[in-house]
């Protein structure tokens, strides 16, 4: 996944793309409420959603972390809900997360914008690109090579249109939201099976797994 260093601004997953075609039937606004509520429930459970912190606070949190460390925070731009902040080789970088009609995707300057993958929630988006970050160089599918609008750390020199590699490797947990043992166990189970609902577990435990069906 490649970001283009520009002015400040701030997809193949199992469930596939959900972008609507211009000729789609009228969109029910209640679907937005359901989709956004579900995404924020997932984010709250993740432990790496940092809420309404500023870009400078995100920079300070990521500055001394290894490349590929990331977090999600509220966007400071009134037209966006969320921003992905990630440590790159050029320093902390911010990428807006777009939303429309039940779909989330990374803000992009790519000419192939209509072909970018979108996802039903932010966790699916992040998990997809985290998986792409582990793909050997040169082996990633073309759709993974998106060019989201991004801004690297202003303290780092960068050409106006230079490419910045965005590798999503590991989330940065909020200090006050360190995951519980139950959540860590859930992540481990999700990492080792694609069908947790078929495990011989009591129903309450199965519901707990279904409440967060991700590996990050």
**3-class secondary structure, 49:** strand
- Domain at 179-216: CATH architecture: Orthogonal Bundle (1.10)
**3-class secondary structure, 118:** coil
CB atoms near residue 44 (< 10 Å): 11
Structure tokens at 88: 């790159």
CB 66 within 8 A of CB 130: no
The CA distance from 107 to 80, in Å, is 10
Tens of pLDDT, residues 60-70: 999 999 999 99
Q: Pick from 177, 178, 166, 158: which is nearest to 140 by CA?
A: 166
What would the mean pLDDT of 118-135 be, rounded to a whole number? 82
Structure tokens at 156: 């780092």
Q: What is the pLDDT of residue 110?
A: 56
CB atoms near residue 155 (< 10 Å): 10
Cα 99 from chain centre: 12
Tens of pLDDT, residues 177-205: 888 999 999 999 999 988 888 889 999 99
CATH topology assigned to domain 2-177 = SHC Adaptor Protein (3.30.505)
CB atoms near residue 83 (< 10 Å): 23
The pTM score is 0.75
Q: Pick from 192, 135, 190, 193: which is nearest to 165 by CA?
A: 135
Q: What is the pLDDT of residue 149?
A: 54
The CA distance from 19 to 64, in Å, is 36
Token pair 């910045």 is found at: 164
Domain ranges within the chain, ordered by starting residue? 2-177, 179-216
Tens of pLDDT, residues 133-143: 433 232 223 33
The CA distance from 28 to 14, in Å, is 24
């Amino acid at each position: 996944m490649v970001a283009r260093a520009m002015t400040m601004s701030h997809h193949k997953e199992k469930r596939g793309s959900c972008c609507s075609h211009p000729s789609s039937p009228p969109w029910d606004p209640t679907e937005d409420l359901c989709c956004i509520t579900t995404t924020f429930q997932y984010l709250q459970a993740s432990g790496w959603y940092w809420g309404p912190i500023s870009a400078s606070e995100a920079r300070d949190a990521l500055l001394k972390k290894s490349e590929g460390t990331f977090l999600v925070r509220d966007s400071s731009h009134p037209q966006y809900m969320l921003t992905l902040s990630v440590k790159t080789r050029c320093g902390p970088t911010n990428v807006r997360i777009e939303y429309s009609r039940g779909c989330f995707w990374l803000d992009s300057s790519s000419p192939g914008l209509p072909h970018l993958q979108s996802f039903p929630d932010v966790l699916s988006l992040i998990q997809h690109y985290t998986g792409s970050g582990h793909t050997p160089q040169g082996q990633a599918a073309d759709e993974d090579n998106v060019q989201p609008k991004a801004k690297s750390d202003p303290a780092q020199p960068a050409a106006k249109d230079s490419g910045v590699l965005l590798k999503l490797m590991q989330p940065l947990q909020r200090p006050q939201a360190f995951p519980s043992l139950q959540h860590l166990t859930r992540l481990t189970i999700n990492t080792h099976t694609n069908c947790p609902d078929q495990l011989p577990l009591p129903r309450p435990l199965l519901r707990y797994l279904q409440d967060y069906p991700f590996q990050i």
